[in-house]
């Protein structure tokens, strides 16, 4: 999720600069100037906005937002070279994906299509993730007839919801649904569980409720792109928590824990597996070992049957 982390970092930087006073000397003059510039920009009074943001850009530590809005105003006035300089400055200050996007609009206005696509591609590489805005932006209208534009829209969609398009993140989808869980031996009712995708399909969330007792819990499952492994964090209503890690191995989700100290002085290592028996059946099998993995005992063995 490197791209996601970079996007979050950039957006955090920009969020801190949404109000010009956040990164500028807090005095009445600067405050009034920022407010007047923002009003002019919103009213599309480009000449006034360019003049006022030009003044703000001369202040020490002017944030990226000032340079982005200066670039947008200059582009609308047809001052393309000056606009490119402003967008370059925003890029240098950390707003690269928005700076490159702005430059693409300038290059389109200059009828420099190849440069426009080059800048849009750079914006995608840095995590630009607003396909709807991009698709309806009148400043990019001339690019839409080119097949490359459609591909960039698709990349923006992937940047917006990277987990939804990641093959690794989809490996545990066989567990999604609402289930009745029974013991594999004897089919004794054990609990109900709802498994769902949350956070733009990045997290597989388990919601467990035991039968005939108040025990309940949740697990959060996610593919760790940096470590190239699946991780599960289990929490429950009695203060318990367990951290697992593993991988999809021969079609089976294979989780392990490290050795965890127990109240009796032993160390417990767990091995948790999920077997996709069919579309409507999943087996969950947990084993534990207190001798470093030499011998194992069954902790529980459940079969999940999809609710009709």
Q: Domain 2-160, what fold?
A: 1.25.40
Residues of the chain with CATH 2.40.128.20: 168-306
What average pLDDT does the structure give for the chain?
92
Q: Is the per-residue pLDDT at 28 higher than 90?
A: no
Architecture of domain 168-306: Beta Barrel (2.40)
CA distance linking residue 136 with residue 147, whole number of Å: 16
Predicted confidence (pLDDT) at residue 17 exceeds the cutoff of 60 = no
Model-level pTM? 0.74
pLDDT of 292 higher than 70: yes
Using 50, 70 and 90 to split pLDDT, how confident is the model at 60?
confident
Given a cut of 90, is residue 51 above it in pLDDT?
yes
At 237 the pLDDT is 98
Both tokens of residue 223? Answer: 């593919």
pLDDT at 182: 98
pLDDT exceeds cutoff 90 at 81: yes
Q: For the beta carbon of residue 236, count every other beta carbon within 10 angstroms.
A: 15
Judge whether residue 5 has pLDDT over 80.
no
> Where does CATH 1.25.40.10 sit in the chain?
2-160
The pLDDT score that the predictor gives to residue 132 is 96
Distances (CA, A) of 115 to 100, 136, 216, 287: 10, 20, 57, 59
Question: How many CA atoms within 13 Å lie on the side-chain side of 191?
Answer: 18
């Amino acid at each position: 999720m490197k791209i996601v982390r970079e996007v979050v970092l950039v957006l955090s930087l920009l969020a801190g600069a949404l109000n010009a006073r956040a990164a500028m000397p807090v005095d009445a003059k600067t405050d009034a100037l920022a407010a007047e510039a923002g009003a002019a920009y919103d009213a599309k009074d480009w000449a006034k906005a360019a003049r006022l943001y030009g003044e703000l850009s001369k202040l020490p530590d002017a944030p990226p937002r000032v340079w982005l809005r200066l670039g947008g105003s200059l582009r609308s006035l047809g001052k393309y070279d000056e606009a490119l300089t402003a967008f370059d400055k925003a890029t240098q200050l950390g707003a690269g994906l928005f700076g490159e996007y702005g430059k693409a609009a300038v290059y389109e206005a200059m009828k420099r299509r190849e440069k426009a696509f080059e800048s849009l591609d750079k914006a995608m590489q840095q995590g630009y993730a607003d396909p709807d805005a991009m698709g309806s932006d009148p400043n990019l209208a001339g690019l839409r007839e080119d097949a490359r534009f459609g591909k960039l829209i698709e990349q923006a969609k992937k940047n917006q919801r990277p987990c939804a398009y990641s093959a690794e993140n989809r490996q545990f989808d066989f567990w999604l649904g609402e289930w009745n869980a029974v013991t594999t031996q004897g089919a004794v009712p054990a609990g109900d569980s709802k498994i769902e995708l949350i956070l733009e399909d990045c997290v597989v969330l388990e919601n467990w409720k035991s039968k005939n007792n108040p025990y309940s819990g949740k697990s959060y499952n996610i593919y760790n792109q940096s470590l190239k492994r699946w991780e599960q964090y289990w929490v429950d209503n009695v203060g318990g928590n367990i951290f697992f890690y593993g991988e999809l191995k021969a079609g089976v989700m294979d989780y392990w824990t490290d050795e965890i100290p127990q109240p009796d002085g032993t160390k417990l290592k767990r091995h948790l597996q999920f077997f996709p028996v069919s579309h409507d059946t999943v087996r969950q099998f947990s084993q534990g070992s207190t001798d470093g993995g030499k011998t194992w005992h069954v902790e529980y063995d459940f079969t999940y049957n999809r609710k009709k």
